[in-house]
């Protein structure tokens, strides 16, 4: 979670849009360009089966489970406040009815929020953080590969920063297995 999921009721729609956009990138492990290209029609928000179709590199399409309840609630709030039932999910705030928010606009918004918070984090780090969280929770590299839309697990492994405690536990378990076999 990037921040509290309970936005102020008076939060301007463009700020709510930005929160949902960045949380979508994190929760789905999606590229910012993929998130900017989402349409309302890509969402399936049926209770207990919420998912999104993400259009990735090379024309690939993957379905990502939306398994974070707080995020789904925030997404539904955004859709209701924006009044969107079809078309681009994240629209330029210049006219609000236009085409999808561009990658450059999303990247600029991200940079302005990071500057205000005095942190230096690239927007792509949301994707890395998601992959790392899954790996550290014990999700298989193959499942993470599929979720991120990578063609190979080698690419996914570049994203996975295994927590030292988890790595140590795995090494200890391997040594115990080895020691039991040599007895």
Model confidence pLDDT, tens digit, residues 6-65: 666 678 888 999 999 999 999 999 999 999 999 999 999 999 899 999 999 888 999 999
Q: What angle (nearest 5°) sits at the alpha carbon of residue 23, between those of residues 21 and 29?
A: 100
Q: Which tokens in the block code for residue 103?
A: 């990658």
- In this predicted structure, what is the pLDDT of residue 142? 92
pLDDT value for 1: 46
Tokens of 139: 């999700």
Q: Is the pLDDT of residue 95 over 60?
A: no
The predicted pLDDT at position 61 comes to 96
Positive or negative torsion for Cα 166, 152, 123, 19: negative
Over residues 71-95, mean pLDDT: 91
Q: What is the mean pLDDT of residues 140-169?
A: 82
Out of 27-36, 63-72, 85-94, 166-175, least confident range: 166-175
C-alpha 106/C-alpha 22 separation (Å) is 9
What mean pLDDT value characterizes the chain? Answer: 88
Backbone angles phi, psi at 182, to 5 degrees: -90, -5
Domain 1-123 CATH assignment equals 1.10.443.10:
yes
Residue recorded with tokens 């890509």? 42
Q: Report the C-alpha gap between 183 and 173 in whole angstroms.
A: 16
Structure tokens at 149: 């839309």
Residue spans of the domains in the chain: they are: 1-123, 127-183
Q: What size, in residues, is the chain?
A: 183
Range 155-160 average pLDDT: 79
Least confident of 43-57, 86-100, 108-122, 145-159: 86-100
3-state secondary structure of 39: strand
For residue 51, give the H/E element and its range.
Answer: strand 51-55
- Give the three-state DSSP class for 131: helix
Cα–chain center distance at 165: 24
Residue whose pair of structure tokens reads 């078309």 in the numeric block: 87
Active site residues: 31, 57, 124, 127, 150, 159
Provide the percentage of residues in the chain whose pLDDT is more than 70. 89
């Amino acid at each position: 979670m990037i921040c509290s999921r309970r936005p102020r009721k008076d939060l301007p729609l463009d700020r709510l849009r930005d929160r949902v956009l960045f949380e979508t990138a994190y929760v789905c492990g999606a590229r910012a360009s993929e998130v900017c290209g989402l349409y309302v029609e890509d969402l399936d928000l049926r209770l207990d089966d919420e998912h999104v179709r993400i259009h990735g590199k090379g024309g690939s399409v993957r379905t990502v489970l939306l398994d974070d309840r707080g995020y789904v609630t925030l997404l539904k709030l955004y859709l209701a406040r924006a009044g969107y039932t079809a078309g681009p999910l994240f629209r330029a705030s210049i006219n609000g009815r236009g085409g999808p928010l561009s990658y450059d606009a999303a990247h600029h918004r991200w940079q302005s929020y990071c500057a205000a918070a005095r942190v230096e984090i690239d927007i792509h780090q949301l994707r890395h953080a998601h992959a790392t969280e899954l790996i550290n929770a014990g999700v298989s590299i193959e499942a993470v590969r599929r979720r991120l839309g990578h063609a190979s697990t080698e690419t996914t492994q570049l994203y996975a920063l295994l927590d030292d405690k988890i790595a140590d536990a795995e090494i200890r378990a391997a040594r115990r297995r080895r020691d039991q076999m040599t007895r």
